Amino acid sequence: MSTRGAYVFEDASNGVSVYRHSDNYASGAAEAIEKAKSMAWQNPRFEADEFAAAFVAANKDGPGGIRLISGDRNGWMDFAHDLEYVYRVTAIDGRLNVVAFHVFYNDTWEMEEIYNGELEGLATCEEHKCTLSS
């Protein structure tokens, strides 16, 4: 069964959401975000829409699977109620930062923050047992 996820790429003025159908546990998400880096502006430059485009280009390998989510930075909330993870990707001091949430929908969204830190640390998370950094 697929592990569905949404990625929200944010900068000071923009937020772009992308849906990814499978492999969205922390290690798969870290790998997908890492792949996008080779197609995006190099740090410290980070623009949400440009990085979202790089994410799609680097990870889309056929029909479906990855798609843009319309609406604002929280458009994912109306997109699919079977998501399991949401990742908010920003840049802080020129480095990618990821806030990861395990999400549940039961008439309303419930979100449990499971990771907050640099991209490199996300890859070491295990399913729902990430260590929150300070």
**pLDDT bucket at 134, cuts 50 / 70 / 90:** very low
Q: Could you give the CA distance from residue 126 to residue 75 in angstroms, rounded to a whole number?
A: 27
Residue 12 lies in a domain: yes
**Long-range CB contacts (< 8 A, 24+ apart) of 59-65?**
59/20, 59/32, 59/35, 64/21, 65/20, 65/21, 65/22
pLDDT at 11: 95
Closest CA to 114 of 34, 38, 5, 1: 5
pLDDT in tens, 63-73: 989 999 998 78
pLDDT at 24: 95
Mean pLDDT of 91-106: 94
Residue 102 lies in a domain: yes
Owning domain of residue 72 = 5-122
Residue 131 lies in a domain: no
Across all residues in the chain, what is the average pLDDT? 91
Residue 99 lies in a domain: yes
Q: Could you give the CA distance from residue 27 to residue 29 in angstroms, rounded to a whole number?
A: 5
First to last CA, the chain: 33
Residue 117 lies in a domain: yes
Q: Which segment of 1-15, 89-103, 116-130 scores lowest on mean pLDDT? A: 116-130
Q: Could you give the CA distance from residue 81 to residue 59 in angstroms, rounded to a whole number?
A: 22
pLDDT above 50 (res 85) = yes
- pTM, entire model: 0.92
Residue 133 lies in a domain: no
Three-state secondary-structure class, residue 101? strand
Closest CA to 69 of 52, 88, 94: 52
Q: In total, how many domains does the chain have?
A: 1
